[in-house]
Amino acid sequence: MALLHTRRLLAAPRLAAATAARASSWWSHVEMGPPDPILGVTEAFKRDTNSKKMNLGVGAYRDDNGKPYVLNCVRKAEAMIASKKMDKEYLPIGGLADFTRASAELALGENSEAFKSGRYVTVQGISGTGSLRIGANFLQRFFKSSRDVYLPKPSWGNHTPIFRDAGLQLQAYRYYDPKTCSLDFSGAMDDISKIPEKSIILLHACAHNPTGVDPRQEQWKELAAMVKKRNLLVYFDMAYQGFASGDINRDAWAVRYFIEQGINVVLSQSYAKNMGLYGERAGAFTVICSDAEEAKRVESQLKILIRPMYSNPPLNGARIASIILNTPDLRKEWLVEVKGMADRIISMRTQLVSNLKKEGSSHNWQHITDQIGMFCFTGLKPEQVERLTKEFSIYMTKDGRISVAGVTSGNVGYLAHAIHQVTK
């Protein structure tokens, strides 16, 4: 007993010292951050032992067996790189030249006046996120007219911290109507008409994330006219070219139309979805300028911005994308494969609606097939989402957004049954 008492006496100072050390730590004031909502969904899914469980939270393509998919053209490009025994030297600050030129051509079109005249600059970025951040930092430093960036409501969750952390102010304009699960076009036009001149507006070029709701071409024309009238700087985020409709030209239509109307946009691209290069982090940032001389000046400043951020971009993903885009046979194969991915997702939308009807659902689910791209805003309420998780082991974010890529011909019937059960 005496020995125990002695140990407690000896332990007390050590405990006090440890507590004092924590209190005097440089980081004692740092609070625990909130968990990422999508990663949280994935962790809960992994813990679930139900054999029928579905993860509809992650924004990555899956084949019809629910497995990650590496494109054949990517495998062939990797084999070409390996056979040439290429070096691992640093890329230039602006990235791989063949990649940036091919990226600009893919986005703008080979017959684009801006592309052919050289009045653009494209730098390689760390996929879509990194490219957006390059653009945000560039605007913060050089766009003197305004610090306000107007995002659609809702927008991709990462847009807010990307622009906020670059020192810009976040504003919003109406975009999605939850009552109809479709575009609130009149609301968007009304809000945009009131945006102060020379502000920045962000537009999703295609496959709006998270809603899957895109303007029609006639609506894009009206939006372009309004943007031009208000003299707004347009920042296009194009993360899904080819992956949305299966047609690279159709998915880039809005970007090209705006430029044709004399609107000099800035643009971010990603090859995560359309080439499946998720972990390779291949992307690009483009500025359309008034002439080639201005483009050179902008390029010089972009390099100055990039240098202290990460010096130069990753090599392997840019090489893969560049080889695919610049090798005719591989490019042709890629266009077939990206259309195959898009078509599978479109088919899953159709099958989900068909199965809901078979279940006897009386709701109108047309918005599921009207929307486009990887994501679908189902219109499910948080309490319905909770029931899907608890009762059926179907995981998604609380706002009812699902990744249609997680739906397969083998589980679409189960998903439709579960949705009907929680919505009837």
Of these residues, 156, 220, 334, 365, which one is catalytic?
Answer: 156
DSSP state, residue 27: T
Which one-letter amino acid corresponds to residue 348?
M
**Long-range Cβ pairs for the range 149-152 (8 Å, 24+):** 149/199, 149/200, 149/201, 149/202, 149/235, 150/192, 150/195, 150/199, 150/200, 150/201, 150/202, 150/232, 151/202, 152/176, 152/188, 152/202, 152/203, 152/204, 152/208
Of these residues, 76, 220, 273, 399, which one is catalytic?
Answer: 273
Active-site annotation holds for 237: yes
Distance CA 199, CA 384 (A): 39
Distance CA 60, CA 62 (A): 7
Residue 15 CB burial class (10 angstroms; 0-12, 13-18, ≥19): exposed
Distance CA 316, CA 415 (A): 38
**Mapping DSSP to helix (H, G, I), strand (E, B) and coil, where does residue 144 land?**
coil
Cis peptide before 215 (omega within 30 of 0): no
Distance CA 411, CA 424 (A): 20
Active-site annotation holds for 273: yes
Tokens of 414: 């189960």
Distance CA 335, CA 248 (A): 8
Q: What is the CA radius of gyration of the chain?
A: 24
Of these residues, 184, 214, 237, 399, which one is catalytic?
Answer: 237
Tokens of 345: 């997702």
Tokens of 295: 């483009």
Q: List phi, psi (to 5°) of 22.
A: -65, -40
Which one-letter amino acid corresponds to residue 50?
N
**Mapping DSSP to helix (H, G, I), strand (E, B) and coil, where does residue 261 land?**
coil
Maximal CA-CA distance, the chain: 90
Active-site annotation holds for 27: no
Distance CA 54, CA 396 (A): 9
List residues with catalytic annotation.
Answer: 156, 237, 273
